[in-house]
Amino acid sequence: MANNKGKRRTFGAVRKLPSGRFQARYPGPDGIMRPAPETFGSAAAADDWLAEKQTEIRHGQWIDPDAGAVNFAEYAKKWIDERELAATTEELYRRLLRLHLLPTFGGMDLDEIHPPLVRTWRAERKKTTGATTVAKSYRLLKAIMETAVDDELIRRNPCRIKGAGKESASERPVATVAQVDEVAEAMGRRWRLMVYLAAYGPARPEEQAALRRPDVSLEPLGVWVRSAEPELTTGRRVQGDTKSDAGKRFITLPAFMEKDVRRHLAWYAEKDPQGLLFVGEKGKPFRRSTFGRKWRKARVRVGLPEGFRFYDLRHTGHTLSTQSGATLKDTMVRAGQSSEKAALIYQHSNLVRQQEVAGGIDARVRDERQKAAGQSGSEEPSGTDLARDA
């Protein structure tokens, strides 16, 4: 096909413009003539560009240049809508999109987002936002644009910064047995078991929020984690699955926790046979904000490091499990963690092995408490009779 004013060629056409530069045009697979997005300094350069376009069409790699004229904001919101995401994940993605992606890319089309722009955006975000948030935002942007590549709206993903999506979180602190006991006392008797389940289970906060009476076993001692009820920033609790399939598990508890479990069932759990295990003083599901205030006061009172999260109690359980001779698989089973790579090499950890691990934790905690009692002359807090609070 040829242009009447240009030189005839086997593919496309080139013509010299009044400016002295050269314009190239070519027929797409749909037969529509399309101009190059830029002009060229020589006819040879225009010919080279046409040759590249012809090769793309022959190999089925050609993308309609108008296909990428899709607004990023609309595409990204639809991208989230079309995925079956956990409520907390969807909330996170929409927040990252609203706060960190749309202010820069929201008014652009997909094909207007290029690697230099992504690099500039990331550099500017790092100046004003935490590195972890920037990494999460970059991963979301990269995932959205990768889908745009799959949809043949753009040819290549503009997110090409090596390692930009990795989070390098600092090592979390580990509370000692004495600190766990102190913070459990500071939290009050209603929340005492929750502290111990976090440290010696170890159970995630959203897993504990979903626990009900039938999930508690006294023989063998432990709790069944079957679901999770995370609280969104709106305050609404959502019922859902555990973080992964490995999250559905039976957590065998150390023997020293039996009295705490029995007392909590008798004093604080909802009385209904299907009632929640943990509720607030008014008998309602506990709120993250209310519990968070109690936690911060208890943390300060005990002297735990600033920023020590309730979630960090899980690291105490991991540490004690390892010190008690648990294998990596044993620890993964207790914590409800999963890894495809690990699944190929780790050995199975059954209930008997989990009881052995719980027994090891029990022995270490009792030993630490005896050492502390010998120094202060006090008795271990979990083995004493506690008067029920009003």
What does pLDDT average to over the chain?
84
CA distances from 221 to 22, 39, 62, 102 (A): 81, 76, 63, 50
Spell out the residues 6+ positions from residue 170 whose beta carbon is closer than 8 angstroms to its own: none
Q: What is the pLDDT of residue 321?
A: 79
Report DSSP state, residue 385.
-
% of the chain residues with pLDDT over 90: 43
Per the CB < 8 A criterion, the answer to whether 161 and 138 are in contact is yes
Mean pLDDT, rounded, for 348-354? 64
Architecture of domain 177-383: Orthogonal Bundle (1.10)
Per the CB < 8 A criterion, the answer to whether 324 and 333 are in contact is no
Tell me the two tokens of residue 175. Answer: 């509370």
Whether pLDDT at 373 is above 70: yes
Per the CB < 8 A criterion, the answer to whether 138 and 164 are in contact is yes
72-81 helix and 87-96 helix, angle to the nearest 10 degrees: 170
Place of tokens 């987002």: 113
Mean pLDDT, rounded, for 208-224? 93
Confidence of residue 386 (pLDDT cuts 50, 70, 90): very low
Whether pLDDT at 340 is above 60: no
Confidence of residue 182 (pLDDT cuts 50, 70, 90): very high
Q: What is the pLDDT of residue 62?
A: 73
Whether pLDDT at 381 is above 90: no
Mean pLDDT, rounded, for 205-222? 93
Q: What is the pLDDT of residue 242?
A: 67
Q: Which range, of 24-38, 53-67, 205-219, averages the lowest pLDDT?
A: 53-67
Tell me the two tokens of residue 265. Answer: 């069932």
Hey, what amino acid is at 39? T
Q: Which range, of 31-40, 322-331, 377-386, averages the lowest pLDDT?
A: 377-386
Place of tokens 């009820």: 229
Residue boundaries of the structural domains of the chain: 13-58, 72-150, 177-383
Q: Which range, of 101-110, 265-274, 281-290, averages the lowest pLDDT?
A: 281-290
CA distance 365 to 319: 12
Q: Residue 144: name the closest of 106, 182, 88 by CA.
A: 106
The overall pTM is greater than 0.75 = no
